[in-house]
Structure 1
């Protein structure tokens, strides 16, 4: 291994604590941000300073600061792993997220393999998630993936978004368990993972080719019927995209995925009364926006 030239020998004299950690750089991509935000949260919650991490890991303060802000070149796994160990953050899910972000940063697979393959301190973190996390994934995987596919049509993109969400949830599992509702916490993680990848028009998520997949459109017999149904579906989707987040999610799960209110409540982590209220308000907005009292889509996909 060729150690980085800027990694000093441990045991050097203490330095002065650096300035307060700056914000994440604007250039950081969605995959990079997916692992950087939990790492920053772990650092801020630890009470340590960049100088503390410098003394404990031997890495230069400038390199640690750059890594925590997403500035400069994409970080090697060795320094990332060292910080994870010091902050007691599970390394296994982080390694997958780090590798995915490396590809997003235009790093070649050879660079990733070489970086990960370098000798690093053996982690005592489990190589599999906690059993309750695994049970949660088994329960929610199917509806999460169906939701993701409504917005992400490119092959494999929905799968990556869901896998990333569950990896982030693993990293933040203790935080999720201590939150007011673990299901609601998890949905917020999934939603962010999907929406950062979804195309947006005027700040609203675009359904794109979802308009071609509606039940009504598949039942249309003639070209004229299909064209008319496509226009109607496009208008519905455009209006739906402007709904508040939870109302939009309720309408997607209810009308595009055909889930009943109790199932929607179980996926979102909200009371069934909240689902019915959101649906009622959303339908009212759609009726006004479309100038009709018709049921949006009327049928599930």
Structure 2
């Protein structure tokens, strides 16, 4: 970002939630890339510099849409995805629907930038179904759809940064993963995959209660072990074993080399084999 005079913008406050950061981080990125100082931005939007600083750090009360829109317009950010993410974060901040509507009734939300860039739309059409398959492993249907929609809204807000990144696919995958994991229940710092365990084809085809209980126990043990994998290995195993992707398809989706995909799968499989004992053969004929 261009050098600028004045005090450096402070970090985002620790208590800022994931939904709030979904639009705040792209706004901070747009501000830092603009070359404007807080003082210059304050003059342009006619809002106190200290209040702008607080907004960009997530300090104080959750901001009203009027000031968010003023800043977004000055920074060249699209209105519609920003409004969607702002509204969701307002609900997370325990704001009522009446408060949200009261902020926006007097303002045209979708005045400009209502259509995403053509290449953003093409990219979404290419990967959206695959993103949904991944999200389904961790979330129920409603949460899955919201997470995927939020992912593309976040990408729309930071599309220039995504295009300028080393690999668009990897940049977008990191946005998806961050969005999905923010909604996923965690235990001991690791994501829970119990929801996916109940949806496995093996369990759905079992009708005997005893066999179902045994298979469920084994499946839950396996999914617990999968959740302990490092992030990259976890994603590869989820795509390969739970979503049915080929090595080539996983490589294309993650923006990672084919050799890396195969290496991550080998390491993950070795770990899973070490913590999940093989089926008992006691009492079987030699």
TM-score, scaled to structure 1: 0.86
Deviations 1:234-289 (A, max 9, x none): 11111111111111111111111112222211211112222222111111110011
Show the counterpart of 1:3: none
Are residues 32 and 127 of structure 1, via their aligned partners in 2, closer, same or farther at CA, if it must alter by over 3 Å? Answer: same
SS at match of 1:156: helix
Matched, 1:238 2:194: no
Show the counterpart of 2:68: 80
Aligned pairs (5 A) from 1:136-175: 136-153=123-140, 155-175=141-161
Are residues 34 and 121 of structure 1, via their aligned partners in 2, closer, same or farther at CA, if it must alter by over 3 Å? Answer: closer
1:108 positional shift: 1.8
How far apart, in 2, do the equivalents of 1:283 and 1:93 lie? 39
Matched, 1:95 2:95: no
Matched, 1:61 2:53: no
Show the counterpart of 2:116: 129
Aligned pairs (5 A) from 1:1-301: 19-119=7-107, 125-153=112-140, 155-292=141-278
SS at match of 2:137: helix
SS at match of 2:214: helix
1:200 positional shift: 1.0
1:291 positional shift: 3.0
SS at match of 2:183: coil
SS at match of 2:16: coil
Unmatched segments (≥5 aa) in structure 2 = 281-286
Are residues 100 and 122 of structure 1, via their aligned partners in 2, closer, same or farther at CA, if it must alter by over 3 Å? Answer: closer
How far apart, in 1, do the equivalents of 2:209 and 2:133 lie? 28
How far apart, in 2, do the equivalents of 1:31 and 1:166 lie? 14
1:206 positional shift: 0.8
Aligned length: 276
How far apart, in 2, do the equivalents of 1:122 and 1:266 lie? 34
1:120 positional shift: 6.6
Show the counterpart of 1:7: none
1:104 positional shift: 1.4
Does the Cα contact within 8 Å between 1:23 and 1:69 map onto a contact in 2?
yes
Once the two structures are overlaid, the 10-residue window that deviates more, 31-40 or 82-91, is 82-91
Does the Cα contact within 8 Å between 2:124 and 2:152 map onto a contact in 1?
yes
TM-score, scaled to structure 2: 0.91
